Amino acid sequence: MDLLGWFIFLFALLFSVMLHETGHFVMAKKFGMKCTRYFVGFGPTIWSTWRGDTEYGIKALPFGGFVKIIGMHSLDDVDDPADEPRSFREQPAWQRIIVLCAGSFMHLVLAFVLVVGLALTVGMEVGTNQLSSVASCVAATSAQLNNGTCGSPKPSPAKQAGLRAGDTITAFNGKPVNGTQLSDAIRATKPGSAVTLTVRRGDQTLTLHTTLVQYPGSTGGYLGIGQTTAFQVPSPLGAVTDFGSFFWQELSGSVQAVGALPAAIPRLFSKDRSQTTGGQVSSMVGIAEATGQAVAADVGWRYKVEYVLLLIAAVNIFIAAFNMLPLLPLDGGHVAAIVWERIRAWFARLRGRPDPGLVDMRKLVPAMFSIFMVLVFFSMIVLVADIVNPVNMGQ
């Protein structure tokens, strides 16, 4: 089952990469650019065929894929001068930007289909009013909160209120709430605020009081409860709303985690790796391992399907956002270069001078190489950490 999880993730990753390349390919064809190759994988060619002026094929190493669009930049030679009008660099700036953004857009489409499809079929896991656990003390970080560990001996607000596992909270500050409304109400309450909880315990209805504290990683309140979960199928509009919430959560979380990664490098190889936000950043090996653990876990099939699909959706959102950073050699860096070209052309027109043309990529090669080496450096560190000190589910 663990190997099945690895296979599922690696297949999903290959599919995502080819979807990315398909986005570039389809839009380039749409605008009349010449695409000479569309291949799955790298290395020696196993099979290929020509359709029009494009060679389609499969290579031996299934670690991605690529599309060849002629004349991508000033250093890209075009074999036949007659093809120059169909080169990427000869097209209007807006068309080139659309082609470059199409890859990331396809990742977002895939994430949308996965999340909305999951919501409308299997359903989304939501918290109920019934408590599955009550934290004994206050967590100091989001990682501690997720792992159920403590950062101080101070009792949690839930513990101070006298809440117990099995209790059902029916109202928060006198307002009836369901499971989702309860968690939203807690996080929307300012830390330090006194709150009143209406609780059903067996045949009894109790009124309990406590004061919320700071929620780790946010400005919201923290009560210290775990809610039992159930799967709920929302309306189509609700499913779209779920995707919006999921998208923002993953995007903001990714930014926070990547930003914290440099400082967390020493923790990547320590026993408390999972206790830091940056330490939870994983390579594709780590994510594949997490998928394998999820598939092999002794839980219901719905939980497995939800975890795997949301994980794949989260990876695609991260790739889409990361790829659009204005750094070469990422697509976002090429978009930034085109925008700079048009800014230079606008200033040239104002001064009555000719368009300076394409950005000279030779001047950008040192910067491209430096950025590439930094990305490789961090990728290799995280990869090694995932091999020798993986972040395990439930750690």
Of 165, 169, 191, 186, the residue nearest 178 (C-alpha): 169
Tokens encoding 296: 């092999």
Of 118, 146, 128, 104, the residue nearest 243 (C-alpha): 118
21 classed as catalytic: yes
Q: How far apart are CA 198 and CA 213, in angstroms?
A: 19
Amino acid at 202: G
Of 195, 95, 214, the residue nearest 151 (C-alpha): 214
Q: How far apart are CA 395 and CA 385, in angstroms?
A: 15
* DSSP SS3 for 252: helix
Q: How far apart are CA 267 and CA 385, in angstroms?
A: 10
Kindly calculate the radius of gyration of the chain based on its CA atoms and give it in whole angstroms. 26
Q: How far apart are CA 135 and CA 215, in angstroms?
A: 13
Catalytic residue among 21, 250, 306, 341: 21
Amino acid at 13: L
User: CA-based angle 320:325:328, to the nearest 5?
Assistant: 115
Q: How many CB atoms lie within 10 A of CB 248?
A: 11
List, by residue number, the catalytic residues: 21
